[in-house]
Amino acid sequence: MKLTDITLTVVGVPRHTGFVNKHIIVRLHTDEGVTGIGEMSDFSHLPRYAPDVKDLKRVLEQILVGKNPFDLALINKELLDNFPEAMYYYEKGSFIRNGVDNALYDLCGKYLGVSVADLLGGRYHEKIKVCYPIFRHRFMEEVEGNVNVVRQRFAEGFDVFRLYAGKNVEADEAFLAAVYKEFGSKVTIKSLDFSHLLDWKEAARVVKRLSNYPIELIESPAYQNDFDGLRHFRHKVDHPVSEHVWSTRQQFEMIKQEAVDIFNISPVFIGGLTSAKKAVAAADTAKKSCLLGTTQELSIGTAAMAHLGSTMTNLDYTSDPTGPELYVDDVVKDKVHYEDGWLTAPSRNVEGLGIELDETKMEQYSVPDLSWNDVTVHQLQDRTAGTK
């Protein structure tokens, strides 16, 4: 079997907040009529540049056409040579490699008649506990709206939440107070996610202030790649510390410096399922726990993470992939399934990712390119449709 062509379709799907996220849906075609699908998830992130999709297609054709899709190591090596790691969280090259790698696994699974989880080593979990994100407060008047999000999602079965914190600490504190007054122990705050906005000393001061409320762990409490800061923070606070993995060198430095307790691993940030599996294995060797992170993917990307998570023996903390619940719609026939705050692992009976595109939805949400138009920095940070 040989790869014969690649199709890249840009889609813009609105979130419930009104913010429109742009993704590239990947289709890999073969000479035997089997097609694999993948997702280059959420290009609507800083920095504000994006690839030219026509040029990207030409580059990927040179890398992929004529290759055997089962040559995963070879193809991923060539992808990495052309889209190298850059020690940056939202490196667009990682998004590109992720979408292609997802599609390769989907294609290989379909050809063999097995699930991606089986290709990755077999099922260990039947479901994955997930949390719903509460986006960052910039103003005190946003608190009640976020409490309403908790009410709504709690009624739908979500009982664990992740708070993006650090922009307005007074509002963060007011939110936590309101949630625990209303819900008590029925609701859990998985983490304060500082998203590298604060230096480690300021993050430690914020954690101390908010520690009157039960919080399971702290995420990204230092500037990006500040490994010394992460280590200092970890020794200063009692909470477990989590950080995303966005390159093999960055993960190596965190292991070497004993800077974290938990690795936040998401294929989109590390460049695909192949690279994510390596990061999971490195964490296991270092005796570190893992959780699944997210950039809030659509169902294709989330299904890939569900397959990966179902195979992980060191998935010890509540994970983040609830992207399909944040969007008003999707581009697949059947979205991934959540029940009582759990992401259901795809059945072992599915072939590949077990996801089928809805061509009507693909046409409905298709957009010409990845251009930014008049989106502002605050919209990018807060994932909202407007500014204040």
DSSP one-letter string for 34-87: -EEEEEE----SSSS----HHHHHHHHHHHHTT--TT-HHHHHHHHHHHS---S
Ligand-binding site membership of 219 (annotated): yes
The dihedrals phi and psi of 215, each to the nearest 5 degrees, come to -135, 135
Residue 164 annotated to the active site? yes
Ligand-binding site membership of 89 (annotated): yes
Ligand-binding site membership of 295 (annotated): yes
Residue 88 annotated to the active site? no
Let me know the angle formed at the C-alpha of 64 by 58 and 65, rounded to the nearest 5 degrees.
85
The dihedrals phi and psi of 332, each to the nearest 5 degrees, come to -120, 165
Provide the β-strand partners of residue 192: 163, 218
Let me know the angle formed at the C-alpha of 166 by 161 and 172, rounded to the nearest 5 degrees.
55
Which residue in the list 90, 317, 338, 365 is annotated as catalytic? Answer: 90
Cβ–Cβ under 8 Å, residues 299 and 23: no
Dihedral angle, C-alpha 198, 204, 210, 215, nearest 10 °: 100
Provide the β-strand partners of residue 285: none
DSSP one-letter string for 129-159: EB-EEEPPPSSGGGHHHHHHHHHHHHHTT--
3-state DSSP assignment of residue 33: coil
Those residues with Cβ within 8 angstroms of residue 271's Cβ, 6 or more apart along the chain or in another chain: 76, 79, 80, 83, 85, 93, 94, 97, 98, 101
3-state DSSP assignment of residue 324: helix
Ligand-binding site membership of 294 (annotated): yes
47: buried, middle or exposed (CB in 10 Å: 19+, 13-18, 0-12)? exposed
Ligand-binding site membership of 15 (annotated): yes
Ligand-binding site membership of 180 (annotated): no
What is the C-alpha radius of gyration for the chain, rounded to an integer number of angstroms? 20
List the structure tokens of 237.
Answer: 């606070």
Which residue in the list 105, 132, 164, 317 is annotated as catalytic? Answer: 164
Binding residues for substrate: 15, 89, 294, 383
Binding residues: 15, 42, 45, 89, 193, 219, 244, 294-295, 383
Binding residues for Mg(2+): 42, 45, 193, 219, 244, 295
**Residues classed as catalytic:** 90, 164
